[in-house]
Structure 1
């Protein structure tokens, strides 16, 4: 089995500082908010894997269908020999691209990036067991710091799958895409997964399933604060919200306090107050139309090249080249 190299740009001290800053800034803001990255401790990651298997959550199946159909097209069109995956998680769908690279005899390097060192090491070890050919470089860090550490060899394609870009607001998406553009050379590639605008009732069900798994996933951010910051949120009292914003074409997710609350965060030496009905914003999930995706890619310095959807037209994968 090939060796696994893990480059860590995010120490435990960095994580602790980030969490403190995000909690302090977000819970004193108006409205209150917490970044969705704090859903993903071990329990949160397990809950998200369960979400991807729910009948209401179509995104993973739709994107898998697209990649299963077009992975070899992508590899042949780009000539890539180095696959970079952002927010790799379990690298489940990535195997379709690795298989296509193997078939095309261009499987040289796999470079996953993730904020979780434990998740990244586990994914890399599983990949190493099944794919002995490529050099494996795992980079632990956020997108801004980790993209600067990419190996420069080969023809690279950066993949951001799962509709993750929808968790960013417009200005954040453009800044992120420009960061990716700066990390690549002219003629290299970006593969981007985007969830598409559709019936609001279907979208609400995808983020508020009948089994309550997405609600538990949402509340998990409070469990993380209770554990890491010695807070005393009454987690199970908070109501899970998943509302469709028609004007901005996005799902807005939050946690609503059912009664007035005073919550102590001992590690921050602070107390916050929540009014009855007050909402802590935890995530957005923007939905896209093709013209919006193409426009944002072009704004960041990419040339849109291909656009694929699943048969139902629920999800899209875009291929773009650095200008």
Structure 2
């Protein structure tokens, strides 16, 4: 069986981007590393493990919503679309969507080329008649889709509440970017984690990002291992601990790497230090009300069409449309 074609977007310098972001983030008074750099091969594999943990409700809840509403989704969008998934395909969610919607092509887009090739190959084996065209690119920046799908109508797929990693203004910018990439008349199927309320407590939220088995801690700490592997870092990873906390004022879970003791290290030849208790901010996961979710859609050029939720209201899957402009009088 031929391997899926891996398309790189205009010779991206992923290694250079990682180094630049790490050096800039560690040089700030409040040290930070963008969450998109979690996803090298090891990080991607750890996140797949996180999605199966008992504490991590978003994945199983979203799968349940997609399973129960697959026919309604397919009826709304129609067959023959190119499905563009922002982020490498989930082993559970993506096949559900592809079986329901009879697409003409599948294009997963991910920054981790190695993991992308692996997951796309597995999916191509399950769907032998489907063109699978993985694109190695950072989907938070402009990129080009394969030329072979230019004429096809398009469905964007952005599951997992990944949008929550971004602050609201950046989330709206990303949604605008999706609209520009997918074009007029396209659809976007997106998963969003609901804000705390009846059925969802602060404790259950924090547990979802700090599981008893320590898989999420390993996922967070892998950033430090990645700096050592790829940027010649001298970080003693035992000097850091994983922390996940709910920030009620900003409506988000925050993940930090907290210094257990005073520590110093170099990355790419540059020295850095943290005092005990200081931390590197590695991820935000915003939780929004349904009204906020719909407002973000309209602010970014999408028109809400349908919304499906689980009975407890933990999670929402939205279907939005990018309208074709009509002539005004």
TM-score by length of 1: 0.93
* 1:271-286 alignment runs, 5 A limit: 271-286=271-286
Match of 2:170 in 1: 172
Q: Deviations over 1:299-318 (max 9, x none)?
A: 01110011111222211100
Contact 2:256 2:281 in 1 (8 A): yes
Give distance in 2, aligned partners of 1:182 and 1:40.
25
Contact 1:10 1:115 in 2 (8 A): no
* 1:1-323 alignment runs, 5 A limit: 1=1, 4-9=4-9, 14-80=13-79, 81-102=81-102, 107-144=103-140, 147-150=143-146, 151-198=149-196, 199-265=201-267, 267=268, 269-323=269-323
Contact 1:90 1:119 in 2 (8 A): no
| Distance change >3 Å, CA 92–CA 279, structure 1 → 2 | same
Give distance in 2, aligned partners of 1:55 and 1:10.
40
Gaps spanning 5+ residues in structure 1: where? none
Q: SS of 2:232's equivalent? A: coil
Give distance in 2, aligned partners of 1:262 and 1:119.
32
How far does residue 3 in structure 1 lie from its aligned partner after superposition?
A: 5.6
Q: Deviations over 1:78-103 (max 9, x none)?
A: 1142111110244431100111123x
Give distance in 1, aligned partners of 2:249 and 2:266.
36
Give distance in 1, aligned partners of 2:2 and 2:65.
29
Give distance in 1, aligned partners of 2:132 and 2:42.
26
Give distance in 2, aligned partners of 1:260 and 1:124.
43
Give distance in 2, aligned partners of 1:260 and 1:280.
13
How far does residue 193 in structure 1 lie from its aligned partner after superposition?
A: 0.5
Q: SS of 2:190's equivalent? A: strand
Which stretch has the larger CA shift, 25-34 or 227-236?
227-236
Give distance in 2, aligned partners of 1:171 and 1:101.
32
Give distance in 1, aligned partners of 2:279 and 2:188.
36
TM-score by length of 2: 0.91
| Distance change >3 Å, CA 176–CA 318, structure 1 → 2 | same
Q: RMSD of the TM alignment (CA)?
A: 1.7
Q: SS of 1:132's equivalent? A: coil
How far does residue 73 in structure 1 lie from its aligned partner after superposition?
A: 1.2
Contact 2:259 2:279 in 1 (8 A): yes
Which stretch has the larger CA shift, 136-145 or 245-254?
136-145
Match of 2:326 in 1: none
